[in-house]
Structure 1
Amino acid sequence: MNKWLSLGLISLLAGCASQAPSTQPLSTPPITQAPATFYDYTIHSPQGETMTLSALAGALKEADVVLVGEWHGHPAAHLLQAQLFAALYAQNPNMALSMEQFTRDKQHVVNQYLASEIGEKTLIKEGNAWPNYSSDYRPLVEFAKQNQLDVIAANAPKPIVRCIGKQGPGYLDRLPAVERKWVAESLTLDNDAYHEKFNASMHHGDEEKTKRQFAAQTAWDDTMAESMVNYLALNPSKQIIHTAGLFHVAEGLGTAARIKARNPNLTVMMVTPVTEKAQVAEGSPDFTVDVMPIPTAYVDKDTMKAAMKEIYGRNHDLKCYQAAEDNTNLDK
């Protein structure tokens, strides 16, 4: 499977500073050689020019939405997100944080945490925080909390998305009204460049299955896009920084395209991590961040197949609403 795919797709198929931020943008000296550790990164403009972090923040100043991609769990990608968030805030404190890592149905839990009505352990448990929350996303949420910034739980709930992948986009029509609001009003199912890129990453040869899987994939992108567009409609002076897997962000094909389709007047910019072997397409508008490649997940093919089988097997326990004419409300 294409290494650009986020860990969210894999699931489907189956510290903050304690002091107030500086009034000056953070600055990272440009690195002129390959990253030496997993925390090192080098920033480049879309034209290939090396940039400091403060220069990147300045270049993003007029964006309504800044999409920052990641390899989930990559130290440099998460370090960049936290540092860029602080740098953007230093030049414009009128900001909000949007996250793939929290879903719409948990917005009230996130709000309770920001208001100090619950503790972090409750946020993690009741908010269905990702397993790497404490190491990778705590710095972002704590920065927002410390500076009284909104955090948008932007994504669609994973069980619903997995049911779309299993039954197709028509599954949304079976949802109760409350749950239907947790996913975008409409899904982008056209054969656009994002659809083509997704199809190219699929190798199982089942066309109908691929269509259902893409409907699930774009359910994430459309929901995150709609969440941000709706927020900006109510808060037009805000700038949003959004964190998501890089397949959603890269080249402006996923979430960015769905934001623009909903509001063409918004300016959306992308910051995408890359390695020597994993690059964005030539001419892409992304600001790129060179990082050390993540380790090879599996060397032995049989071990990989066993792991994938375990992930795919999760769908056997998936409970989805059946069609109205069926005798029961749920199937497995």
Structure 2
Amino acid sequence: MHFSIFVLAIVTVLTGCTSNPLSSRAPPTDITSFYDYQLYSPSREPISIASLPPELQQADVILIGEWHTHAGIHRFQTDMLKQLSIAERPIALSMEQVPRDKQAVLDSYLNGEIGEQYFIKQSHAWPNYESDYRPLVEFAKQAEIPIIASNAPKNIVRCIGQQGIDYLNKLSHEERRFVAESINTDESPYKEKFMASMHHGKPEQTERLYAAQITWDETMAESIVNFLTKNPRSQVVHVAGKFHIEAGLGTAMSILNRNPNLNVAIITPTADATEDGVDFQLEVLLPPVRYVKRANLMQAYQHLVGRNSTLQCK
């Protein structure tokens, strides 16, 4: 299961809109390498990225889920942003991978005021930034597409994972503005899904971990909605882990809770696009199995728990 809380461990209108949905169909691409992808509609019709259907062209927000480090998905994200940028409608990129408190550093890089290595260091970029997110950011930079640093700072999220949602009361006014104003930890289909994915830990521990997870989703959602409030003509493309957005849950649900009038489209990766569903599907090769032997899995988990236990929270 790939979703962004794993780091806690204990923790658009295009040139010429089409009214005929058949015109967006394309022969399926053979998925034989990790660079290949094929986009499908919710009814599982293959879609050409050069001729997107109205549901994607006219969406206010397009959420693209990912299996982190998957080359085909990251290639699609850049191709999609490039295609959508052709339209006259303003577009913005929103990224799970950059927290709100690094917006100024990100803007300095996009404006050419600092170099890439300084940006990577100062923004605490993900280890796979250069291999997976550089193409996306560099295209946005040269096309002058704004990028929203949408996530909550990792140190705050990790401390919520350790202490629960009440940790927010310990934050200074400056720190608190980097996290969503409203965070709903009540029962929901998303919470049920999250709890079902947790196979260890006491109930109170999983409650804290869910509080951390939903803080991530609520903050990303608020960042997107705030941007669209200030830029109502714009379209936002948001990239995040698959778990955060699929089936209209997580960040997608949080966006609509804040503004139910927004038109949100969801694209989720899959290794088998034959089943009907509510999301657009991006077929790619399934990621390699991370661990075959349970002992190796547990060893990796224990290492991650030990690494994060050194974090000093207030």
The TM-score bracket by the shorter chain reads over 0.9
Deviation at 1:144, TM superposition (A): 1.2
Contact 1:28 1:53 in 2 (8 A): no
2:267 aligns with 271
Paired with 1:297 and 1:93, the residues of 2 have a C-alpha distance of 41
The one of 301, 305, 309 aligned to 2:298: 305
The one of 160, 164, 171 aligned to 2:156: 160
Q: Which amino acid aligns with 2:300?
A: A
Runs of 5+ in structure 2 lacking a partner?
A: 18-23
For residues 248-259 of structure 1, the aligned pairs below 5 Å read: 248-259=244-255
Paired with 1:117 and 1:23, the residues of 2 have a C-alpha distance of 33
Contact 1:60 1:269 in 2 (8 A): yes
1:30 aligns with 27
Deviation at 1:315, TM superposition (A): 2.6
For residues 27-106 of structure 1, the aligned pairs below 5 Å read: 30-31=27-28, 33=30, 35-56=31-52, 58-106=54-102
1:326 aligns with none
Q: Secondary structure at the residue paired with 1:37?
A: coil
2:283 is the counterpart of 1:290: yes
1:317 aligns with 310
The Cα RMSD (Å) is 2.0
2:137 is the counterpart of 1:141: yes
2:165 aligns with 169
Q: TM-score, normalised by structure 1?
A: 0.87
Deviation at 1:135, TM superposition (A): 1.3
Q: Which amino acid aligns with 2:215?
A: A
| Identical counterparts, % of pairs | 48
Contact 2:271 2:286 in 1 (8 A): yes
Contact 1:28 1:54 in 2 (8 A): no
Q: Which amino acid aligns with 1:215?
A: A
Deviation at 1:166, TM superposition (A): 0.6
Report Cα offsets for 1:11-56 as digits up to 9, x if no partner.
1114xxxxxxx9799x9953254x1111111211001111111233
Deviation at 1:302, TM superposition (A): 1.2
Q: Which deviates the most, 217-226 or 82-91?
A: 82-91
Cα gap change, 1:87/1:57 in structure 2, threshold over 3 Å: closer, same or farther? farther
Cα gap change, 1:28/1:291 in structure 2, threshold over 3 Å: closer, same or farther? farther
For residues 143-292 of structure 1, the aligned pairs below 5 Å read: 143-204=139-200, 206-276=202-272, 284-292=277-285
Contact 1:30 1:42 in 2 (8 A): no
Contact 2:61 2:265 in 1 (8 A): yes
Aligned residues: 305
Q: Secondary structure at the residue paired with 1:90?
A: coil
Cα gap change, 1:28/1:112 in structure 2, threshold over 3 Å: closer, same or farther? farther
1:328 aligns with none
Cα gap change, 1:242/1:270 in structure 2, threshold over 3 Å: closer, same or farther? same
Paired with 2:148 and 2:50, the residues of 1 have a C-alpha distance of 25
Contact 1:99 1:153 in 2 (8 A): yes
Report Cα offsets for 1:229-282 as digits up to 9, x if no partner.
111111111100000001011111010100000111111110111113xx79x6
Q: Secondary structure at the residue paired with 1:194?
A: helix
Paired with 1:297 and 1:283, the residues of 2 have a C-alpha distance of 28
